[in-house]
């Protein structure tokens, strides 16, 4: 394993961490953003929906952009835009200002998510073993740090600008420095011949099962992030303070599951790990739906974190294996469906909860997640385990770092 690849892995890990922190700092302080700009309850959903929609546009644009520009360059410059847009959200006082800032955040996040996972998939291919879950574990760690900083800001009644400025001052130059060591994966001789055939038009029928899995996983994730506190307090009768715990527990167990998940993939294969994660996640939703009280409910959210955490990283990895000569395009298209799931999940559970019951509503994402079992074979290939006895006979050649030197 070359030093360039090890440096590339560490620098990309920092990129995942910074993105997790920035995203958590925004979504956990939405009420403060609403108060600062006087956004009405009726208008707020439009602002919130615009971010994932524009992120999808950014992901589509990235698919076209990486035909001419290396993914490492897209990542290098989209990450500062995300951080500056986060600061911009905190710096204004008019609706048009927050609209522009959130729009820039959404577009840049789409480019960032797509390019970040492109580099992760290509590095995993170069390593010849599963490392993708580790990148997403660092993202979860960044989310925990960002959410903790947001809690501190709310506790000490800090303005958004005072909260965000030090974070951006630290993360932005660090991300730019780390970006010097990003590594783009190069296509091998056989893969290079396939690029021209695949890059212009992926076989959507082949990618569709992974797109559905990505959508259902993010419906489950958005259910936890948007409804866990309300569910624990209104349905299971917890205190307001206790109702804030499930999401933190979910994030911690997501981190734990991803931290050890690569070992499971190397030992048992991606298909087995995805199936196990699906069953555990479905069990978590089931426990939440029938929980007699808040502590059992928190057990369910713990299971959800352990189960859902492995699905998304392995979905990106599977797309890379499915289209080895056009993995960047596959990842960009697949990335769109994480925003689709995010857009669908919260309104779906809310509508079902109001029309039926919130306990019953929890069964819907459970059923959707279980559909992953049908599509689990899509995660398999002769190279899905990597590592150990399943180490690939060669590693993909790696091109120069993202600085173009």
Query: What is the extent of the structural domain holding 69?
Result: 1-186
> What are the start-end ranges of the H helices in 38-159?
44-65, 71-91, 95-127, 132-155
Per-residue model confidence (pLDDT) at position 188: 37
What average pLDDT score do residues 162-176 get? 97
Q: What is the pLDDT of residues 33-52, one digit of tens each?
A: 999 999 998 898 888 889 99
Helix (H/G/I), strand (E/B), else coil: 183: strand
Query: Within this chain, do residues 176 and 271 fall inside the same structural domain, yes or no?
Result: no
Per-residue model confidence (pLDDT) at position 85: 98
What average pLDDT score do residues 176-205 get? 62
Is the pLDDT at 239 greater than 90, yes or no?
no
Q: How far apart are the first and last CA of the chain?
A: 20
Per-residue model confidence (pLDDT) at position 219: 96
What average pLDDT score do residues 15-27 get? 94
Which of 155, 186, 217 is the C-terminal boundary of a domain? 186
C-beta of residue 288 within 8 angstroms of C-beta of residue 301:
yes
Contacts of 342 (CB under 8 A, 6+ apart): 52, 218, 221, 222
Beta bridge partners of 129: 386
Indicate the pLDDT class of residue 147, thresholds 50, 70 and 90.
confident
CA distance 302 to 295: 11
Contacts of 57 (CB under 8 A, 6+ apart): 106, 107, 110
What average pLDDT score do residues 91-96 get? 94
Is the pLDDT at 2 greater than 90, yes or no?
no
Using alpha carbons, list the distances in angstroms from residue 304 to 160, 246, 277.
Answer: 31, 10, 9
- Within 10 A of 162 (CB to CB), how many other CB atoms are there? 12
Residue at 45 is within a domain: yes
Helix (H/G/I), strand (E/B), else coil: 252: helix
Does the predicted TM-score (pTM) go above 0.85? yes
C-beta of residue 72 within 8 angstroms of C-beta of residue 402:
yes
For the chain, the average pLDDT equals 88
DSSP code per residue over 342-393? HHHHHHHHHHHHHHT-HHHHHHHHHHHHHTHHHHGGGG--TTSSBSGGG--S
Residue at 230 is within a domain: yes
Residue at 194 is within a domain: no
Which of 158, 186, 214 is the C-terminal boundary of a domain? 186
- Averaging pLDDT over each range in 36-40, 167-171, 222-226, which range is the top one? 167-171
Identify the sign of the CA torsion 91, 92, 97, 98. positive
Is the pLDDT at 133 greater than 80, yes or no?
yes
Say how many domains are in the chain.
Answer: 2
Query: Within this chain, do residues 226 and 90 fall inside the same structural domain, yes or no?
Result: no
Nearest-Å Rg of the Cα atoms of the chain is: 20
Residue at 391 is within a domain: no
Contacts of 132 (CB under 8 A, 6+ apart): 120, 121, 124, 262, 313, 314, 316, 317
Per-residue model confidence (pLDDT) at position 389: 40
Length reported for the chain: 405
Residue at 179 is within a domain: yes
Is the pLDDT at 339 greater than 70, yes or no?
yes
Query: Within this chain, do residues 162 and 293 fall inside the same structural domain, yes or no?
Result: no
Query: Within this chain, do residues 286 and 210 fall inside the same structural domain, yes or no?
Result: yes
Q: What is the pLDDT of residues 56-91, one digit of tens each?
A: 999 999 999 998 999 999 999 999 999 999 999 999
Is the pLDDT at 332 greater than 90, yes or no?
yes
Query: Within this chain, do residues 142 and 238 fall inside the same structural domain, yes or no?
Result: no
Helix (H/G/I), strand (E/B), else coil: 70: coil
Beta bridge partners of 185: 398
Query: Within this chain, do residues 179 and 222 fall inside the same structural domain, yes or no?
Result: no
Query: Within this chain, do residues 115 and 69 fall inside the same structural domain, yes or no?
Result: yes
| Phi, psi angle pair for 119, to nearest 5° | -65, -40
Helix (H/G/I), strand (E/B), else coil: 396: coil
Query: Within this chain, do residues 237 and 119 fall inside the same structural domain, yes or no?
Result: no
> Which CATH number goes with the domain that contains 77?
1.20.1250.20
Query: Within this chain, do residues 318 and 345 fall inside the same structural domain, yes or no?
Result: yes
Residue at 215 is within a domain: yes
- Lowest-confidence pick of 59-73, 228-242, 278-292: 228-242
Query: Within this chain, do residues 168 and 253 fall inside the same structural domain, yes or no?
Result: no
Query: Within this chain, do residues 301 and 247 fall inside the same structural domain, yes or no?
Result: yes
Is the pLDDT at 189 greater than 50, yes or no?
no
Residue at 263 is within a domain: yes
What average pLDDT score do residues 19-30 get? 91
Which of 128, 154, 186 is the C-terminal boundary of a domain? 186
Is the pLDDT at 197 greater than 60, yes or no?
no
Query: Within this chain, do residues 253 and 151 fall inside the same structural domain, yes or no?
Result: no
Per-residue model confidence (pLDDT) at position 375: 95
Q: What is the pLDDT of residues 367-398, one digit of tens each?
A: 999 999 999 999 986 454 444 444 343 333 33
Element (H, E) at 401: strand 398-401
Per-residue model confidence (pLDDT) at position 1: 57
Burial (CB < 10 A; 0-12, 13-18, 19+), residue 148, is middle
Residue at 389 is within a domain: no
Is the pLDDT at 54 greater than 70, yes or no?
yes
Per-residue model confidence (pLDDT) at position 205: 77
């Amino acid at each position: 394993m070359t030093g360039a690849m090890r440096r590339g892995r560490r620098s990309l890990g920092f990129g995942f961490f910074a993105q997790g922190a920035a995203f958590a700092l925004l979504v956990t302080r939405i009420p403060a953003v609403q108060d600062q700009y006087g956004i009405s309850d009726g208008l707020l959903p439009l602002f919130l929906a615009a971010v994932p929609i524009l992120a999808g546009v950014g992901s589509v644009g990235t698919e076209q952009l990486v035909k001419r520009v290396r993914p490492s360059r897209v990542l290098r410059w989209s990450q500062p835009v995300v951080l500056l847009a986060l600061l911009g959200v905190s710096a204004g006082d008019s609706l048009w200002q927050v609209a522009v800032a959130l729009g820039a955040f959404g577009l840049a996040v789409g480019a960032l998510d797509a390019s970040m996972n492109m580099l992760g998939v290509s590095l995993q291919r170069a390593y010849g073993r599963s490392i993708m879950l580790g990148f997403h574990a660092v993202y979860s760690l960044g989310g925990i740090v960002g959410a903790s900083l947001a809690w501190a800001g709310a506790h000490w009644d800090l303005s958004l600008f005072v909260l965000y400025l030090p974070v951006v001052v630290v993360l932005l130059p660090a991300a730019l420095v780390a970006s010097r060591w990003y590594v783009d994966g190069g296509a091998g001789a056989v893969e290079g011949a396939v690029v021209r055939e695949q890059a212009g038009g992926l076989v959507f029928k082949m990618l569709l099962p992974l797109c559905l899995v990505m959508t259902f996983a993010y419906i489950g994730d958005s259910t936890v992030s948007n409804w866990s506190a309300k569910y624990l307090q209104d349905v299971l009768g917890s205190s307001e303070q206790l109702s804030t715990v499930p999401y933190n527990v979910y994030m911690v167990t997501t981190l734990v599951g991803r931290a050890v998940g690569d070992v499971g993939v190397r030992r048992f294969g991606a298909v087995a790990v995805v199936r196990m994660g699906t069953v555990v996640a479905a069990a978590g939703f089931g426990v939440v739906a029938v929980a007699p009280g808040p502590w059992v409910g928190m057990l369910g959210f713990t299971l959800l974190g352990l189960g859902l955490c492995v699905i998304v990283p392995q979905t990106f990895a599977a797309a890379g294996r499915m289209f080895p000569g056009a993995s960047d395009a596959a990842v960009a298209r697949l990335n769109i469906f994480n925003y689709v799931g995010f857009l669908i999940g919260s309104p779906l559970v809310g509508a079902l909860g109001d029309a039926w019951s919130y306990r019953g509503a929890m069964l819907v994402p459970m059923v959707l997640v279980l559909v992953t079992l049908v599509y689990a074979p899509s995660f398999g290939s002769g190279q899905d385990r990597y590592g150990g006895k399943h180490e690939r006979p060669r590693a993909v050649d790696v091109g120069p770092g993202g600085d173009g030197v």
